[in-house]
Amino acid sequence: MGDDVPSTHPSYRAALMYPHILRSFLPSMLGRLSLAVSGLALVLHLQATTGSFTVSGAVTAAFGIANVVATPWRARAIDRFGQAWPLAGLGAVHAVTLAVLAGAPTDDRPVLVCLGVVAGLSAPPFGATMRVVWSQALPEGLLRTRGLSLDAVTEEIVFTAGPLAGAALIAVSDPLVALLASAGLTALGAGSYVTSPLSLRQRGHVPDAVGEVAEVIRPLRTPGFLPVVWALLAPGIILGAVEIAAPAIGVAAGSTVLAGALLAVFAGASALGGLLYGRLEWKLSPGRRLVILGAGLIGTTALSGLIGSTGVLVVGIGLMGAFIAPMLITGYLAADQLTDARVHTEASSWINTSVNLGAALGSGLYGLFLDEVTPGSSLVLCAVAAALVTAAGFFRLVKT
């Protein structure tokens, strides 16, 4: 394995140095960096060219909705036809669409919204496809857990640092350059990834019969997997709440710097929690792990909000973050263990879709509550919502 750590206790380095892994992992992260940069760049570029945040917001919303809607369909295509051609096609269309948005000589809202839809539909699923590579390349057990944990933590770092890198590039140039850079990263990441040996091995699976199609393309029907997907709405709700809570707490404390610091602490704690979690040897099933982690997350959120002082909220948000990546990693492991290998891309995509949906709900709920109560009390109410979600699937989850 290229590592001096015994194979019974493999390290993160052992997972990363496994044959051909880096050749896939680095391009995958380049692609994910492009997605992390494009959001801010797109908003600011459209605002600069159209003079309207309404237009930029509409295009960004169209992008986001189309991306979520297309997620399972893109994944099914990749599971069926392999990674190379679908991912190369998506990467090309996405990169070209971003370039067109960057150079579009129009402020016609319908045209821009349509381009946003195309960009969202074609966003390459770099994360889901790389997780399939980890699962297929690494032997089942601790080494695979290390690989999936490393992937989740690195993705967390990329999606935290990406907007900062985009903002820095915009500061020294302009949003157009950042948007074109994002398009270039997409093309480079997709092109490099699909030519990697481990990606080329993912040739897909075309079922032999109609009955097999019905069985294979629906991972949500796999016994035990739907409760996992449902349970991951809860960390999504807390994640979405924190994204609104951080600026709200900053405003209440009279400090705009505090908002950014809170989000950085949350993301950093999530990454650290993921690294620590990946080194543990769990005997419990993924479902029971999610129950324990979810209870810790919800309890920490509720307690922090109930106390409500700025200092406690800062510490509490850090502790809350420490549960996010471990819950995501558990979801990825459940997708790997519970579903047919031929639909792992779609199964992994459902994990992210659930968290993203929960985040949208959490942001909306927190904003709604904040009109009536304090930032801390709003967190408590979001914790209650997350607890209700967890309770609704508790008995099915503990059997997973």
Calculate the average pLDDT of the chain.
89
CATH code, 366: 1.20.1250.20
SS3 assignment, position 374: coil
Residue 114: its pLDDT value, please? 94
For 288-311, what is the mean pLDDT? 95
Residue carrying the six token digits 């695979």: 144
Q: Check the CA dihedral 187-188-190-195 and report its sign.
A: positive
Can you tell me which residue has the tokens 């990834």?
Answer: 193
- Tokens matching residue 169: 């590039």
User: 140 and 240 share a domain?
Assistant: no
Where is the domain boundary, 204, 239, 254?
Answer: 204
Q: Is residue 211 part of a domain?
A: no
In a domain, 38, yes or no: yes
Mean pLDDT over 329-358 rounds to 92
Residue 214 falls inside a structural domain: no
In a domain, 120, yes or no: yes
Q: Is the pLDDT of residue 55 over 60?
A: yes
On whether both 185 and 225 belong to a single domain, the answer is no
Q: How many independent structural domains does the chain possess?
A: 2
The residue range of the domain holding 43 is 12-204
Is the domain of 304 the same as that of 337? yes
Would 101 be classed as within a structural domain? Answer: yes
Give yes or no for a contact between 363 and 244, defined as CB atoms under 8 angstroms apart. yes
pTM attached to this predicted model: 0.83
Q: For residue 210, is it within any domain?
A: no
Residue 78 within any structural domain of the chain: yes
- Residues 140-191 have pLDDT tens digits of 888 999 999 999 999 988 988 888 888 889 889 889 999 999 999 999 999 9
Place of tokens 């490099």: 192
Q: Under 8 Å CB-to-CB from 197, ≥6 apart: which residues? A: 20, 23, 24
My answer on whether 181 and 239 are in the same domain is no
Q: pLDDT tens, 212-269?
A: 444 445 788 898 999 999 999 999 999 999 988 888 888 888 876 787 788 888 988 9
The predicted-structure confidence for 369-392, as pLDDT tens digits, reads as follows 988 889 899 999 999 999 999 999
* Tens-digit pLDDT profile for residues 191-210: 999 999 999 999 877 665 55
Q: b/e string for 41-62 if b means 16 or more Cβ within 10 A?
A: bbbbbbbebbeeeebbebbbeb
Task: Find the mean pLDDT for residues 318-336.
Answer: 95
User: What length is written for the chain?
Assistant: 400
